[in-house]
Amino acid sequence: MSGNTLYAYSEDQLERIFEKLLQKFNKTSPKYIPQKEIPEEDRLTQQQAAKMLNRSVQTLIKWKKKQKIPFYQIEGTIFYSKSELLAYAKNHPKDFNRL
- The CATH number for 24's domain is 1.10.1660
| Count of the separate structural domains present in the chain | 1
Residue 63 lies in a domain: yes
Which residue segment(s) compose the domain that 43 sits in? 11-96
Residue 2 lies in a domain: no
Residue type, 11: E
Indicate the angle between helix axes 82-91 and 46-53, nearest 10 degrees: 30
The answer to whether the predicted template modeling score (pTM) of the entire model surpasses 0.75 is: no
Summarised one tens digit per residue, pLDDT across range 40-98 is 888 999 999 999 988 899 999 999 888 888 888 877 888 899 999 999 888 888 877 65
Distance CA 88, CA 95 (A): 9
